[in-house]
Amino acid sequence: MLALVRNIFRSALVALPLSLNAVAGDASTMLRAVSSDPYPETMTKLQRAIEANGYVFSRVQRVDYGLRRRGYDIPPYRVVFFGKPEEIRFLSVAQPRLLPFLPLKIILYQDGDKVVLLAADPSRLAQVYPGPANDGLFQTWRRDIQTILREAARSE
Amino acid sequence: MSVVNTLIPVTAVARMAAAFASLLIAFSVPVSFAGEAGNLPVLVVKSPYDLEQTVANLKTAAEGNNFRVIREQSVDHGLVENEDEDRRQRILYFCNFDMLHDALAIDKRVGVFLPCQVNVTEREDGVYVIAPNPKVISALFLLDNPELAAACTHLQNTYEAILEEGTL
């Protein structure tokens, strides 16, 4: 718990400019990366990147599967849920207004011969949940998601 | 039991309590939800029922508003062992597949806010239902797609109906 707080306040104190490189912002509202690898391989790399960055992979929501069962034709489109259990438990009590945004999510969808990985930029939440502690948390999420996307999109 | 053996656990508990209190002070915003409006990306309603009844009511309300309940889970499901899940924090996921298909046809990015969900949280002062506010979220994250505005208004009306019917 104390390590969690230290991490969050460290982020608040040293809010460094984030290098986007292979991870683009979409008018600064989305974090996006593109993989040239096949969809299954990209999904596997995403799960590994999530765990390598200190998060727990929770589950996958198969949006495409549900739509196909209803008769809609859609290429692969899935939502990956992940998080840190101690962080979620803490926020459930201290910041219940953040519950609709937890666990964290990244979507993967097939776009032609590429796979797009996309997440909402958590730093946008600072506009509606201001404060230094929240800023630190949202910047940490943003940095971590950018790293995860970068690692998942990297071709081997 | 020696004095030392009793003092050590008391001191440790006191340290943890102080740390937790300072965290709450650092992070907390007032947790009285009643009367919140408009600019927050969430809708909040206090339920007059206990957690299980609230969840059951919300399922009925979602189905009554043409949504299919696709999943109910604890918020930490999949992140901890099953027996360690916090059952006081629930998520109800639901979907209208026709609306979903139409939304994705407008903007593939909407998936970052899927599936539709309501959170039910049991706190010391009762049970609260917390849902995303689609209009605020759309303005915050998808501001460059005005086509979504009508869909988000419809979805917000639906969320409000589900929350109201689920907590009547």
Average pLDDT value for residue range B142-155: 80
Query: Are residues B78 and A96, on separate chains, in Cβ contact within 8 Å?
Result: no
pLDDT of amino acid B125: 94
pLDDT of amino acid A72: 95
What would the pLDDT profile of A75-102 be if each residue is shown by its tens digit?
999 999 999 999 999 999 999 999 999 9
Between the alpha carbon of residue B99 and those of residues A72, A73, A110, A130, B68, the distances in Å are 12, 15, 20, 33, 12
Query: Chain A to chain B, count of Cβ pairs less than 8 Å apart?
Result: 143
Average pLDDT value for residue range B50-61: 97
Closest by Cβ to A99, choosing from B77, B130, B141: B130
Contacts of A41 (CB under 8 A, 6+ apart): none
Per-residue pLDDT band at B1 (split at 50, 70, 90): very low
pLDDT of amino acid B56: 97
Substitution target from B13, B24, B27, B82 for chain A, most A beta carbons within 10 A? B27
Closest Cα in chain B to A54: B79
* Residue at A22 is within a domain: no
Tell whether the model's pLDDT for residue A14 goes beyond 70.
Answer: no
* Residue at A54 is within a domain: yes
* Residue at A114 is within a domain: yes
Find the domain containing A129 and state its range.
2-10+30-153
Q: What is the tally of structural domains in chain A?
A: 1
Interchain CB contact of A90 with B (< 8 Å) = yes
Average pLDDT value for residue range A126-153: 94
Query: Are residues A66 and B131, on separate chains, in Cβ contact within 8 Å?
Result: no
Substitution target from B75, B99, B123 for chain A, most A beta carbons within 10 A? B75
Candidates B82, B85, B62, B59; CA nearest to B74 is B85
* Residue at A99 is within a domain: yes
Query: What CATH number is given to the structural domain containing A119?
Result: 3.30.310.70
Tell whether the model's pLDDT for residue B158 goes beyond 90.
Answer: yes
Tell whether the model's pLDDT for residue A13 goes beyond 70.
Answer: no
Q: For residue A105, is it left (φ>0), alpha (ψ between -120 and 50) or beta?
A: beta
* A129 contacts in chain B (CB < 8 Å): 29
Helix axes A39-52, A132-153, angle to 10 degrees: 140
Provide the strand spans (E) within B7-156: 42-47, 68-74, 89-95, 116-123, 126-132
Q: Do B143 and A27 form a contact (C-beta atoms < 8 A)?
A: yes
Q: What are phi and psi of A123, to 5 degrees?
A: -65, -20
Say how far residue B74 (Cα) sits from the centre of its chain. Answer: 11
pLDDT of amino acid B163: 95
pLDDT of amino acid A25: 52
pLDDT of amino acid B84: 94
Tell whether the model's pLDDT for residue A23 goes beyond 80.
Answer: no
Min distance A63 CA to chain B CA atoms (Å)? 8
Average pLDDT value for residue range A18-28: 50
* Residue at A61 is within a domain: yes
* A142 contacts in chain B (CB < 8 Å): none
Pairing relation of β-strands B116-123 and A24-25? unpaired
Tell whether the model's pLDDT for residue B103 goes beyond 60.
Answer: yes
- Give the whole-angstrom CA distance, residue B165 versus residue B154: 16
- Element containing residue A151 per DSSP (H, E): helix A132-153
Query: Are residues A77 and B104, on separate chains, in Cβ contact within 8 Å?
Result: yes
Name the pTM for this structure.
Answer: 0.81
* A83 contacts in chain B (CB < 8 Å): 76, 79
Radius of gyration of the CA atoms of chain B, in A: 20
Q: Do A149 and A117 form a contact (C-beta atoms < 8 A)?
A: yes
pLDDT of amino acid A92: 93
What would the pLDDT profile of B4-26 be if each residue is shown by its tens digit?
334 434 454 444 444 444 344 33
Per-residue pLDDT band at A142 (split at 50, 70, 90): very high
Average pLDDT value for residue range A117-141: 93
* More confident site: B63 or A155: B63
pLDDT of amino acid B40: 80
* A67 contacts in chain B (CB < 8 Å): 97, 100-101
Tell whether the model's pLDDT for residue B138 goes beyond 60.
Answer: yes
